[in-house]
Structure 1
Amino acid sequence: MGSTVFGRGTARVRTAKVPLPREIWVLVAASFVIAIGFGIVAPALPAFATSFDVGVTASSAVISAFALMRLLFTPTAGSLVQRLGERPVYLVGLVVVAVSTGACAFAQSYWQLLVFRGLGGVGSTMFTISALALLVRMAPPGIRGRVTGLYASSFLLGNIAGPIVGGLLVGFGLRVPFLIYAAALLVAVAVVHTQLRHSTLAAPEGPDDRPTLRLRDAWEHRTYRAALASSFANGWAVFGVRVALVPLFVVDVLGSEPALAGVALSVFAAANAGALLFSGRVADARGRKPLAVAGLVLLGAGTAWLGFTTSTPLFLLACVVAGLGAGMLNPAQQASVADVIGSRGRGGPVLVGFQMASDVGGITGPLVAGFIADRVSYSAAFGLTGVIVLVAAAIWSRAPESLERPGVPAAPLVEPITGR
C-alpha cells in the first residue's frame, strides 16, 4: 500500500498560510460545551450516587461504568463511522449522552443511575471517534498538529471551568447539574447540525469513495505502534493514576487537607493548557516525533517524582512538569495518527485502536497502581507509572517521523514486514 493512496504526496504548507476551516471551529466550540458539561456533573455525581445509601465502592462504580462502556462500545462506534459517516454518528452520540444525562436527573434508585450513566459512555465513544475522524479528514495536512492542539485545548478549558460551575450548581440540588448538561448538549446538537448540514467538507461520503486503512496495515507502521504505546501510557498516567492516587497521596503522605488535591489537579491542567498553546504548532513545524519523545520524558519524570515528594511546593512543581509533558505529547501523537491515515483515507479501525489503548490504560492504571500503593508504597506506584511512560518514550525514539517537510520526505505509511 503506497503512501500516495492516503494523501501523503503533498509537501507541508507553512501553518501561517493555512486558515482553519469553519467546520473545525464548530467542532472546537462543541468540544468546549461537552467538556464544560462533563465538568459540571463531576462534583455532583459521587454525592448523588451515595444519596441512594451506597458506599464509596458503589459510588465509584458509577464513574467506572462510564469508562467501561466507552471501552466496550468503541469497536462498534468505529464500525458505525465506517458505515454511516462521521457526522451522523457524532450527532447521534451527542443525543445519547444528552438523553442519558437527563435521565440521571430523574433516577429513583442507584441501579437506575448506574444504567443511565453507563449508556452515556456509549454516546461518548460515538462522538469521540467520529470527531477524531472528522478532524483527520477536514484538517489540511500542514496544520494537523495545530488542529489537534486547538481541539484538545478547548476540551481542557471546558474541564477546568466545568467543576467550578458545577460546584455552584450543586447548591441548587444534586439533580440540577444533570439537567443543565443535558440542555447544553442539545444546544450543541442543534448548532453542529445547522452549521455542518450543508458543508461539503463534512458531508458523508459513500463507502467506496475512500479506501479504508485496516488496523493490521497501520500496525506495520512503527509510528502507529508508538502512538498506541503513548496512548496507553497517557491513559494510565493522566486519566487513571493521576485522578485516582493524587487525592489519596495528598492526605496519606503529605498530611494536607483534601483541598490541596483540587489545587494539584488544577495546576496540572494549567500547565497542560500552557503547553498546548505552542505544542501543536511546533509539531507541525518540527515534526511529531521530537515533541512526543520530549512530552513523554517530562510526563514520566514528573509522574515518578510525584511519589517521592515530601513537601507541597515540590509536589506542585512535579505536577507542573507532568502537565507540561502531557500537553506536549497529545497534539503530536494525535497528529501522527492522522498522518498515518491521511486526509483521503478512512481510518475508523485505526482510530478505534488508538482510543481503546487509552481507555485500557485508564482502566488498568488505577487498579494496578492502587494495589501497589496499598501493598508496597505510593512511591512504588508512581514510580511504576513513570517507568511505563518512559518505555513509551523509548518506543517513540525508534519510530520514523510521519510529518512531511520540504526536502525531507516522511517515512512510508506502511513499512515492509521484512528487513525492518
Structure 2
Amino acid sequence: MSADNSATGAGTGTATPPGPAPAVLPPLHCLRLTAPGPPRLAALPTGTPVWLVSRHSDVRQVLTDPRLGRAPLHTPDAPPLTLTPNLLDDPNGLLNIDGVEHQRLRRTVQRAFTPRAIARWRPWVASVVEGLIDELIDGGSPADIVSGYTRPLPVAVISRLMGLDLLDSKRLEHWSDHALATTAFTAQAIRTAMDEFAAFGAEVVAERRAAPGDDLVSGLLTAAADTPGVTEEQIVTLVIGLVVAGHETTMTSLGNALVYLLGEGRDAWEQLASDEQSAAAATEQLLRVVPLGDADVLPGLLRRAAEDVEIGGVRIPAGSVVAADVNAANTDPGVFTGDLLTELFSPLAAPMYTFGAGPHHCLGAWLARMELELALHRLARRLPALRLAAPQEAIDWRRGLLTRSPQRLQVAW
C-alpha cells in the first residue's frame, strides 16, 4: 500500500484492454528481470528517454538523493510520462510533492501508519481474515480466491481505517482500476472516473468536517487544520490516494504470492501454516522477489534530475528522467545470492526497495506487511490442502494497469 512511493460510473472495473486477446501471460515471478548494471538509456512507452538504474546501491541513491525528485516530473517543461494520465500524475498528490511541502502534508497522516499504530489493528485484521476464510469454506470448493479473499480483505481494512464501511466495493474497484490504468481504458474514461472519485473524496472530507469520528480522514483533517499551507485540493487528493493505495497493492501482492505459493512454492505451504514468524519472513521475501507489475509498463520508480548528478559512475544530465528499477535491485546477485525456493524463510540479506526508500518511502508499508502475514499464515493453517484448480497458463490476469495480478484465481481444497 502506498499513497506515497511508489482506483460507480460506467464500466465493470474489469481491467482488460479492448481488442484481440493477448498472448498467454506468465506469472510475474517467472519473468526474467533486468540484470543489474550501470545506468543505461532506454525509453518510456511515450518515447521519452529514461535512464534505467538497476544496481542495489544505485537504486538507493536515486530514491534518497534530493537532487532527484518527483515534483520536477510534472513541471510545464517535463516530457510526457504516460500515454493516458492517471492518479499518479496528479501534481497535488503526496507522491508528486517534494521537500518541506511534502513533509508538511505527509505529517498529517503518518502517525496512523507507524508500526505501533498498526499493531493495534492486528487482532481486528486477524478476525477479518478468519471471517473471509469461513465464508470461502462455506461456499465450497472450488472457489475464486480473488473475489472471496485477496480483494475483500484489503478493501475491508482500508474502509474501516478511513471510516468508509458503506463504500460500494464495485465503485471502488471501478475507480481504482481507472486510477492506475495505462492502456485498459481511454483517456476520457479515466478523466471521467477520476472526476467522480475526486467528488467522492470531497464529499467524504465535507462529511468528516461536519461530524468528525475516530478514523483516518478525521485525524487527517485535524492535523491539516494545524498545518499551515495544506490546501483543500491536496487533502482531497490525499484521501482518494489513500483509498486506492490502501488496497490495490496489497491485493496485487497477495494474489501474486498465492500464484507462486500454490505453484512452484507449494512445498512451503506447511511451514507457512506453522507460525506467524515464518509467514513474516516469507512475506518479506515474496515482496522482494515477486514484482507488482510488468517492467514494460513501468520500468521503475520515476524521478527527474534537478541538476547534473553522477550515479554508478555515469553522469546523468539535469532534466533527465530516471527510473529506479526496484525489481532488479531486489534481486541484485551482488547483494542477494539465494533464490526464492531456498531463501523463502530466511531474513533479508539487505533492504529491499519494493516500498521505496527515502522521503517517499511507502506510508502503508507496515499495514501491507501485517495484512499479508496474517492472510498467508491463516489461509495455510485453515486450508492445508489448498491448490490451484487450473494450470498457471490458464490464469486470467488484470491487464492494462500499472499493477498486474489475477483477475480470477480458481482454487480447490
TM-score, normalised with respect to structure 1: 0.34
More helix by share: 1
TM-score, normalised with respect to structure 2: 0.34
More strand by share: 2
